[in-house]
Amino acid sequence: MNQKPIIVIGAGMCGVSTAIWLQRFGHRVILIDKGQPGLGASFGNAGLLAQWAVDPVTSPKLWWKVPKYLAQQNSPFFMKWGYLPSMLPWLVKYMSHANDNATRRIVQDLIPIVSDAVEQHKSLVRSTTLEKWIVDSKFSFVYPSEAAFKQDAYSWKMKSIAGLIPKVILGAAVQEEEPILGPAMGCLAILEGQGHVTNPGQYIAELVAYFVSEGGQFIQANVFDIQKRNGVVSHIDTDLGRFDCRKAVITAGIWSKDLMKMIDLNVPMEAERGYHVIFENPSELPRNPMLMTEGKFGVNPMEMGLRCAGTVELGDHRSGPSVDPIEYIRKQSQRAFPNLQYSGTQEWMGSRPSTPDSLPLIGELGQSGIFTGFGHQHVGLTAGPKTGRLIAQLINNNSPNIDMSPYAPGRYAVGTSKPGS
C-alpha cells in the first residue's frame, strides 16, 4: 500500500465528509484546516438539509428583483459597494445565467447532489453517536398571502421538476400548523420528508473527532503552497512544515479561491455573505423548520435557541460583518413572530462560495491528483456528504452513478502552470 496519505484541505462539511469516505475506502487521510473544525461557514448556516434547493438564485426574475431590492431600504439583498469593481466580471457571468434555459439546466444539475441529502447525511453517521444530529422534519415556505405564493409560481415550477409538490394551507390553518407565526403570515407551502441539523457547528466538530477516532489525522495549520512534481501533486507546504501526499483535495469553501491561486488557477468565485441571529431561550419555537420567503431567511429550532439565518450580501470574504443585514433579520423576525420573547441574541456572518453557474466544482483538475469539492453556494451543508462520497469514489477509481461533467472543475480552471510543475 502506498504510504503517502491523501490530504484534504478544509474541515467543513464537504472536507470532513470526503475524509471519512476516503477512510472507509481504506485510504490514509490527513485533514488540514487553518481553524478549529466547525467554525467556518459550516458553523453558522441555517442547518437545513435543503433537498428542495434545486432552483438557483439566478432565475429570470433576478433581472427585475435586483434593481427592486437595491431601491428598497428594507430588502434581503445587500451590497458592499466598494467591492463592486472587483467582483463585476463575476457578476456579469453570474447574471448571464438568469434566463429560463440556464435555470432549467442548473435545476437538472443540482437535483443529483441535493435531492437525497437527508439519506446521505444518515449514511455518513449511521451506527455512530452522531445520528442524533440528523432530524426528520417537514419544511414550510412561509408567505404573507396566497397571492405572494402564486407570484412564486416559477420557483415552484422548477421545484416540480424534482417532484417537489407542496401542500398549501391558508388563513387560520397557518397558525394551527405553526402557532409561532403571527397574523401577517397567511400562507404555508409545506413539503414532507425533509430534514435538518440541530447544531451544525457541533455536528461537524464531532464528525472530525469521529474521523480521528477511526485513525485519521487532523492538523490545524495554514497552507502556504501546493506543490507539484512532473505535473502531479507531491506535497503541501504549511506553517507547520511540509506534508507529502499522493492526492490532495481542496474543500475550503470560499477560501478555496485563494488555494487555487497557489497552482496558478483563477477560479471565478465570490462570496454571498450570509448572516444569522440566534434568539436565546425563546418563549416559543416552530414545530418544523421554515423559510420566510419575504425575508429570504431560514428558521430552525436548534439546541442553542431559535436560529434565523439567510439574506445575501455581495462583498469581499475577507472583510468584517455589516450591521444592516442583522437588523433586517431582527425586524423580519419580529414581524413573523410577534409574540416571541427571548433572553438575548447571538449574531454571525459567513461567506457562501458562489460560482457564476451556481454549481460546485467536484472532480480532478486534469491528471494532477488535485481534486476539488467547493463552490456549493447555498447548499454546502446539504450536499457535503454526497460531495465527499463522489470525490472518494473518483479517487478510488469507482465510477459515480451520476454524470459528473456539470461539476467538472476544468470548466473554470483557467491559468498557467508553475515553472517546472
Q: What pLDDT digit, counting tens, does each position of 180-210 carry? A: 999 999 999 999 999 999 999 999 999 999 9
To 10 degrees, what angle do helices 380-395 and 13-24 make?
Answer: 30
Distance CA 60, CA 106 (A): 13
Polymer length in residues for the chain: 421
Average pLDDT over residues 115-127: 97
**Is 418 a residue whose pLDDT tops 50?**
no
DSSP-based three-state secondary structure for 372: strand
**Is 366 a residue whose pLDDT tops 80?**
yes
Q: Are 82 and 88 a contacting pair, CB within 8 Å?
A: no
**Is 252 a residue whose pLDDT tops 70?**
yes
pLDDT at residue number 73: 67
Say how many CA atoms lie within 13 Å of 348 toward its Cβ.
20
Which residues in 170-191 are b (16+ Cβ under 10 Å) and which e? eeeebeebbebbeeebbbbbbb
Residue 371 is classified by DSSP as E
Distance CA 157, CA 272 (A): 25
Q: What angle do CA 97, 100, 105 make, to 5 degrees?
A: 70
Q: What pLDDT digit, counting tens, does each position of 263-278 carry? A: 988 889 999 999 999 9
Lowest mean pLDDT among 165-174, 390-399, 412-421: 412-421
Q: What are the φ and ψ backbone dihedral angles of 82, each rounded to 5 degrees?
A: -65, -20
**Is 413 a residue whose pLDDT tops 90?**
no
pLDDT at residue number 63: 80
**Is 312 a residue whose pLDDT tops 90?**
no
Domains of the chain as residue ranges with CATH: 6-42+202-267+359-411 (3.50.50.60), 60-197+269-354 (3.30.9.10)
Amino acid at site 84: L
Distance CA 56, CA 401 (A): 23
The strand ranges marked E within 81-205 are: 134-143, 167-170, 187-197
pLDDT at residue number 41: 67
Q: Are 221 and 34 a contacting pair, CB within 8 Å?
A: yes
Q: Are 352 and 273 a contacting pair, CB within 8 Å?
A: yes
Distance CA 136, CA 124 (A): 15
Distance CA 51, CA 192 (A): 11
Average pLDDT over residues 82-106: 93
Q: Which residues contact 288 (CB under 8 A, 6 or more apart)?
A: 137, 138, 139, 140, 178, 194
Record the cell numbers describing residue 136, joined without a space. Answer: 426528520
pLDDT at residue number 159: 98
Q: What pLDDT digit, counting tens, does each position of 37-92 carry? A: 867 766 778 899 999 999 999 989 888 777 777 666 677 888 888 888 999 999 99
Selection from 405, 416, 415, 409 nearest residue 365 by Cα: 409
Record the cell numbers describing residue 301, joined without a space. Answer: 429550532
Q: What pLDDT digit, counting tens, does each position of 5-49 carry? A: 999 999 999 999 999 999 999 999 999 999 988 677 667 788 999
**Is 421 a residue whose pLDDT tops 60?**
no
Record the cell numbers describing residue 346, joined without a space. Answer: 447571538
pLDDT at residue number 71: 65
Q: Are 222 and 241 a contacting pair, CB within 8 Å?
A: no
Distance CA 131, CA 139 (A): 20
pLDDT at residue number 44: 77
Rounded to whole angstroms, what are the CA distances from 84 to 80, 181, 270, 412? 7, 37, 11, 21
